[in-house]
């Protein structure tokens, strides 16, 4: 990115007429669900791949699935260690099915996070010296700041030397929680949201790489991601454009903060 910072008006009409890609995955089998505020449930899809799915009628509301999809996609854009998230169809055959958590499913489109075997969940950044987590943690700091993180949750894979994955991003985007909105996005667009965790032993070279990636994010990149939000989720285009503006405007400032973090580590 270069030149003057984008304004909200720059995004007016950017997504008008965008046609979301068709949803290509369908739930085939549902395993017993686990605890969680959004009551995700493990599934096998029609390609025999394992996912954890949040239903469109999950108890945290319909915007959680939107946030999950967007944050995962922009995380991959900058090489952050996010779990892969895709839309998934819950066929009519499952409508009315009551999960052990008590959730009665509705047919429709949910968000599916690809299952990673042999993981445990933690709410803190741990195992920095294991696997390549000195690098992967840098992406966590960047994503949390860029997307206005909340309720940070991370997975650690025991069979891969505690390799870290960032997941469950439903509480990202301001004002933090299930119901992000344009007013909050505009109010916080220039506010730092740095993860309150120690920076020691992060990989300095990765700080530079992630900073470069943030500064290279384009409006076209973000439009492509936001155009993929299923129309069935009912988010007005004007509100998705507000998310695009929020992320485009924040990216260079977050990149500068990550670069400064690396410089501080190098000088220490």
Percent of the chain's residues with pLDDT above 70: 96
Mean pLDDT is lowest, of 53-67, 144-158, 231-245, for 53-67
* Concatenated DSSP letters of 176-224: SSS---HHHHHHHTT-----SS--TT--HHHHHHHHHHHHT--HHHHHH
What's the pLDDT score for residue 103? 81
In whole angstroms, give the CA distance from residue 240 to residue 144: 19
* Per-residue model confidence as pLDDT tens digits over 200-215: 999 999 999 999 999 9
Going from N- to C-terminal start, the domains of the chain cover 23-267
pLDDT of residue 40: 86
8 A C-beta contact, residue 237 and residue 15: yes
The string of pLDDT tens digits covering residues 178-196 is 999 999 999 999 999 999 9
Cα separation, 237 vs 242, in Å, equals 9
Percentage of the chain exceeding pLDDT 90: 82
- pLDDT per residue as tens digits for the range 72-123: 999 999 999 999 999 999 999 999 988 877 888 999 999 999 999 999 998 8
Q: Which residues pair with 98 in a beta bridge?
A: 104
Sign of CA dihedral 196, 186, 243, 178: positive
Provide the pLDDT for residue 33: 61
pLDDT of residue 34: 59
Query: CA quadruple 155, 265, 212, 244: dihedral positive or negative?
Result: positive
pLDDT category of residue 268 using cuts at 50, 70 and 90: low
Report whether pLDDT(20) > 60: yes
Residue 108 structure tokens: 């429709």
User: Please, are residues 52 and 65 in contact by the beta-carbon 8 Å criterion?
Assistant: no
Virtual CA dihedral for 64, 67, 68, 72, nearest 10 degrees? -170
- Cis amide leading into 175 (omega within 30): yes
Pairing outcome for strands 153-157 and 27-30: unpaired
Residue 184 burial (CB count, 10 A)? 18
- Write out pLDDT tens, residues 33-63: 655 566 888 999 999 999 999 998 888 888 9
């Amino acid at each position: 990115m270069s030149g003057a910072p984008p304004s909200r008006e720059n995004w007016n009409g950017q997504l008008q007429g965008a046609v979301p890609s068709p949803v290509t995955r369908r739930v085939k089998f549902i395993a017993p669900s686990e605890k969680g505020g959004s009551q995700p449930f493990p599934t096998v899809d029609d390609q025999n791949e394992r996912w954890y799915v949040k239903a469109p009628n999950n108890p945290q509301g319909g915007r959680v699935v939107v946030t999950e999809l967007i944050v995962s996609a922009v995380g991959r854009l900058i090489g952050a260690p996010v779990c892969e998230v895709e839309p998934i169809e819950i066929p009519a055959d499952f409508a009315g099915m009551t999960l052990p958590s008590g959730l009665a499913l509705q047919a429709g489109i949910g968000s599916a996070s690809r299952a990673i075997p042999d993981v445990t969940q933690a709410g803190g950044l741990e195992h920095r010296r294991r696997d390549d987590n000195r690098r992967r943690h840098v992406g966590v700091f960047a994503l949390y700041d860029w997307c206005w993180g909340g309720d940070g949750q991370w997975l650690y894979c025991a069979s891969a030397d505690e390799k870290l994955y960032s997941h469950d991003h439903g509480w990202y985007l301001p004002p933090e929680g299930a119901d992000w909105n344009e007013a909050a996005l505009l109010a916080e667009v220039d506010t730092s949201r740095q993860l309150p965790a120690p920076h020691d032993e992060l990989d300095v070279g990765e700080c530079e790489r992630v900073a470069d990636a943030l500064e290279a994010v384009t409006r076209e990149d973000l439009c492509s991601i936001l155009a993929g939000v299923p129309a069935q989720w009912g988010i007005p285009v004007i509100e998705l454009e507000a998310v695009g503006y929020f992320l485009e405007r924040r990216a260079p400032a977050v990149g500068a903060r990550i670069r400064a973090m690396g410089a501080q580590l190098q000088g220490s």
